[in-house]
């Protein structure tokens, strides 16, 4: 199937590439199908592109690239909802707020995206952990996220 995207123009995708957010993403609950597209030459940064709305795309990244100590427990209702059977099925992303210049960009560690790679079912969860914020500098010398 072909989709139109904001950053990649028209793109050919397969059904297997579609990530399903049964509850949508907070503030975008009506958007339930996305695809992860690479950003040129960026190994750890991607676009989470809506399949149905070409103007809706989020810049996402693997949080562990920037925050090695990032951790939290997935509660049972989430693991059940996503049908997770093992940690090996989990892929985590954080939404970035991209700034100009790029080194001023921030990551939302308070609301990671949890993806079950086995069934492509995902959910953005809200953590109730005070040491994680919605805007952590991704290039700071010492990550605020690991301060206790």
* Mean pLDDT over the full length of the chain: 91
Per the structure, the complete domain to which residue 44 belongs is given by 2-146
How sure is the predictor about 144, in pLDDT bands with cuts at 50, 70 and 90? Answer: very low
**Structure confidence at residue 77 (pLDDT):** 95
d(CA 85, CA 104) in angstroms, rounded, equals 37
Number of H helices, E strands in the chain: 2, 11
Mention every residue, 6+ apart, whose C-beta is less than 8 A from residue 72: 112, 127, 129, 132
81's enclosing H/E stretch is: helix 76-81
Domain count, the chain: 1
Residue 134's CATH number: 2.30.290.10
How sure is the predictor about 7, in pLDDT bands with cuts at 50, 70 and 90? Answer: confident
116-122: average pLDDT: 97
| pLDDT one-digit tens code per residue, 46-64 | 999 999 999 999 999 999 9
d(CA 11, CA 2) in angstroms, rounded, equals 6
d(CA 33, CA 108) in angstroms, rounded, equals 21
| Whether this model's pTM surpasses 0.85 | yes
d(CA 13, CA 51) in angstroms, rounded, equals 9
28-50: average pLDDT: 91
Question: In sequence order, what are the beta bridge partners of 47?
Answer: 37, 59
| pLDDT one-digit tens code per residue, 68-83 | 999 999 999 999 999 9
């Amino acid at each position: 199937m072909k989709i139109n995207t904001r950053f990649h123009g028209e793109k050919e995708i397969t059904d297997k590439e579609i990530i399903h957010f049964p509850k949508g993403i907070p503030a975008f609950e009506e958007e339930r199908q996305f695809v992860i597209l690479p950003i040129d030459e960026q190994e750890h940064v991607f676009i989470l592109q809506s399949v149905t709305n070409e103007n809706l795309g989020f810049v996402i990244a693997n949080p562990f690239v920037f925050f090695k100590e990032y951790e939290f427990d997935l509660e049972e209702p989430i693991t059940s909802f996503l049908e997770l059977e093992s940690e090996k099925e989990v892929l985590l992303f954080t939404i970035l707020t991209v700034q100009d210049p790029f080194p001023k960009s921030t990551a939302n560690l308070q609301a990671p995206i949890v993806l079950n790679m086995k069934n492509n079912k995902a959910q953005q969860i809200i953590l109730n952990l005070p040491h994680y914020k919605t805007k952590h500098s991704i290039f700071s010398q010492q990550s605020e996220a690991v301060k206790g």
